[in-house]
Structure 1
Amino acid sequence: MENIEQNNIVAFPQLNKPAPAFEAKTTHGIKKLSDYKGKWLILFSHPADFTPVCTTEFIAFAKHHDEFLAEGADLLGLSIDSYYSHVAWIRNIKEKFSVDIKFPIIEDLSMSVAKSYGMVHPGASDTSAVRATFVIDPKGILRAMVYYPMSNGRSIPEFLRLLRALKAADTHKIATPEGWQPGDKVIVPPPQNADAAESRMSEGYECTDWYFCKKDL
């Protein structure tokens, strides 16, 4: 799927559809979406290198990097900056904050990847990517996307929590409630017909009503 701009209407990537393919230069060499087949991918953009809010986000991503890897997920950053700017910035973060950025960052001077993922919002900036985060599953399907304004940093633990919730939903065919963490009760999918609704309350779940039941995994 491509980002299409026509009559001032922009078509963004869609959930549960294939994520837009890309091939781009990064701080770790050329990377393609297909390189991540079989793994989860957290693709995230930031407005610019050498900016304070972005620096805090990259430090947080770096500090949680091993936890993402343990969940079978890779991290991939992006901004509309050059390779040389990225390298200088990550070296600066290591020197000034004693944090290693071990994941690659896409150079996107042409804005081709940013535009295909709907990372450029003219209402915010015509020349910078907003704080967008995309969760792509091992089959290359876009499972979640979250946008933040230029002025406010993301909570990186939330994306780790979301990844774990998505994996649990896929494995156990359940849904997860607000703020779910591993070990919490999960939501049993609602009954799909009247007969199932009639019997739901006697099926051994923790039910508040026929449509709202929880269980342990």
Structure 2
Amino acid sequence: MVNLGDEVPEFSADTTKGPIPSFRDFCRGKWTMLFSHPSDFTPVCTSELGAAAKLQGEFAKRGVQLAALSCNSLDSHKQWVKDIEGSMSEGQHIEYPIIADPKRDIAKKWGMLDPDEKDDSGKAFAARCVFIVGPDCTLKLSILYPSSTGRNFDELLRVIDSLQLAAKLPVATPANWHQGEEVMIAPRVSEEEADKLFPGYRTIQVKSGKAYIRKAKVQEGQDGGPAAGQS
């Protein structure tokens, strides 16, 4: 399994949008969301790829490129796309690539396989994995869903907003946070630094007396300097 902060595993693959000779080169300098699917021509997977197609503009606004993966052949993917665009994407064409992985080589390398879900020959399918890769080709977030649970793509946009903000500023986002709401100033930031970066921030009073909950509004376009781990 790929761990947070790891350089993501390299692979080459055929996709519905042409070959990817090097996945790291594909990712380098951009935010990327790789999301895997158990199999083509299955109901939940079809709904998910349609949901992603409908939100392509929102991902693009954030500078995020999408790449899906399913453990089937390229020809199968091309036929499947017709079903998705005809039933689940509200007329949106799938502009992102769907990676073919019929031998499960990529799924194995990334730790995607679900031992409880197998095809007729006994080969394990990929689980519903989400990997968000930063511009430096390291893993920033991973989420693993069972095959029975479709993903919430609005939530994936929310976590991308959080990741990208934390890559620019020394902040973290609280529970149920959405873009535009107050953020938490990171504990490592001194009071002097906080005053410079977040003028007017507020400290929440707690019974322990410790001043560790500091909230601030972040202005659009605000940048705290070079982002940790980014290139």
TM over 0.5: yes
**Alignment partner of 1:120 out of 113, 117, 120:** 113
SS at match of 1:35: helix
Structure 2 partner of 1:138 = 135
Structure 2 partner of 1:168 = 165
Structure 1 partner of 2:221 = none
Q: Distance in 1 between matches of 2:83 and 2:117?
A: 27
Q: Distance in 2 between matches of 1:148 and 1:167?
A: 23
**Alignment partner of 2:42 out of 51, 62, 67:** 51
Q: Distance in 2 between matches of 1:215 and 1:35?
A: 35
- Residue-by-residue CA offset, 1:150-208 (whole Å, 9 max, x unaligned): 1110001111111111110011121111122221111011258xxx69xx9xx953222
- Residue-by-residue CA offset, 1:124-157 (whole Å, 9 max, x unaligned): 4442100000000011010000011111100011
Structure 1 partner of 2:184 = 187
SS at match of 2:179: coil
Instruction: Tell me if the contact between 1:188 and 1:212 (Cα under 8 Å) persists in the aligned partners.
Output: yes
The 5-angstrom pairing of residues 19-168 of structure 1 reads 19-31=8-20, 32-33=22-23, 34-97=25-88, 98-125=91-118, 126-168=123-165
TM-score by length of 2: 0.81
Which residue identity lines up with residue 175 of structure 2 in the other structure? E
In the alignment, structure 2 segments of 5+ residues that lack a partner are 219-231
- 1:16 pairs with 2:5: yes
Which residue identity lines up with residue 157 of structure 1 in the other structure? D
Instruction: Tell me if the contact between 1:44 and 1:77 (Cα under 8 Å) persists in the aligned partners.
Output: yes
Which residue identity lines up with residue 67 of structure 1 in the other structure? E
Which residue identity lines up with residue 121 of structure 1 in the other structure? D
Which residue identity lines up with residue 47 of structure 2 in the other structure? T
TM-score by length of 1: 0.86
Greater Cα offset, 88-97 or 179-188: 88-97
1:117 Cα deviation after fit: 1.1
SS at match of 1:121: strand
How large is the Cα RMSD of the aligned pairs?
2.0
Q: Distance in 1 between matches of 2:86 and 2:187?
A: 53
| Count, aligned residues | 200
Structure 1 partner of 2:202 = 206
SS at match of 1:169: helix
Which residue identity lines up with residue 100 of structure 2 in the other structure? E
- Residue-by-residue CA offset, 1:46-93 (whole Å, 9 max, x unaligned): 111111111111111000011111111100000110101100010122
In the alignment, structure 1 segments of 5+ residues that lack a partner are 1-11
Identity of aligned residues (%): 37
Instruction: Tell me if the contact between 1:80 and 1:127 (Cα under 8 Å) persists in the aligned partners.
Output: no
